[in-house]
Amino acid sequence: MSTDTPNPQAPHNHNYLSTFKRTLNNILRTPLAVRTFAQIIDGLPTRDDAGYFPTYSLEIRDNAAASAGAVDAARGLGRYIDTYFKTILVGAELAQSASQAYQDSRPGTSEFYLRLLEKLAVACHDIAALVYVDTQPGLRREGQSLEQRLAALEGRPTDLMHEDYHELQQYPKGVADVVGYWAEYHLFGGVVLFDRAESGTSCKRAFLHPVGGFRIFQISDFQIQQFVEYVQRLAEVPEDAQPQPPFPFSAEKYTYRVDPFDAMALGIYRDKYERVIPRDRPTRCVQRLADFPELGDAVVQINRGDSGQRLEGFRR
């Protein structure tokens, strides 16, 4: 594990930047990234990867796989990565608190890896936005008129959308940010959030916000350790090696979960503009047992004939 210390005189010294770039490049060369970015280039998700709820359009239903042209293009994201580093990392992005916090963290510490995860999520999001802007309306939309494309969207800003992240009127990049959140879900297992605590800038714990109405869940210590080992392994293998990242993560059974309605009040978000919280708590017609594992355990006990006091606790 590295023992380098931050250099306050160098906004991005070699060790910080090289760790970040190597990890980002590796993530964006994986089959999962190719699959994700190919759909952005097509301008249409596949029926298995639509990523929002409830039902999707007939057009998506009939789209079983990304086009060959989009897949080929997604294997060559290098110019978008270069653009990201030239126009964002070296420019305005340096002023952002996430970059400063990453370079101020001590390599090898928990904060270092959480800040690295934050920067990777932001970078993947921003590169997805760059690809979307450069390739819209997409290969699958070629030949369609504006009226046809709008009709196919049925009022949605884009088909590449996480159902809880669509406030394009307050996003810096508008619809492109909507696509960025969608890409995060596919690459990491959900939109990547953090426990910002009272300061609003802390990075104490990492969370993921999945699709389909599931609750936000904390990335477990074991999963964070998998990420740490992945980053360390990248530093040890040749440049052309392709270790597989541990994500997308899914919720461990008993991990800490938060209702999306409560998350921001608890300091769990990445940017405060990402969602608009309604005044009243939304009514849920259905609760998923996966989101309430203790209740699921009680149901199992009931089915085994051991209802007793286990259910009594839930009645209270």
The 10s digit of each residue's pLDDT in 113-132 is 999 999 999 999 999 999 99
Q: Is the pLDDT of residue 283 over 90?
A: no
pTM higher than the cut 0.85: yes
Q: What is the per-residue pLDDT for 15? A: 84
226 contact partners, CB below 8 Å, separation of at least 6? 246
Q: What is the mean pLDDT of the chain?
A: 86
Classify residue 243 as left (phi > 0), alpha (psi -120 to 50) or beta.
Answer: beta
The encoded tokens of residue 64 equal: 């079983």
Higher pLDDT, 26 or 302: 26
**Which of 78-82, 151-155, 184-188 ranks highest by mean pLDDT?**
184-188
Q: Which of these ranges, 73-77, 131-135, 288-292, 301-305, has the smallest mean pLDDT?
A: 288-292
Strands (E), the chain: 191-195, 206-209, 216-218, 257-258, 268-269
Q: Is the pLDDT of residue 215 over 50?
A: yes
3-state helix, strand, coil in the chain (%, to 5): 50, 5, 45
Q: DSSP for 101-134? A: HHHHSPTTSHHHHHHHHHHHHHHHHHHHHHHHHH
Q: What is the per-residue pLDDT for 96? A: 61
Q: Which of these ranges, 105-119, 144-158, 278-292, has the smallest mean pLDDT?
A: 278-292
pLDDT band at 56 (very low <50, low <70, confident <90, very high): low
**In what order do the strands lie in the sheet containing 268-269?**
257-258, 216-218, 206-209, 191-195, 268-269
Report the percentage of the chain scoring pLDDT > 90.
59
Query: CA–CA distance from 306 to each of 175, 293, 297, 316 (Å)?
Result: 52, 17, 11, 18
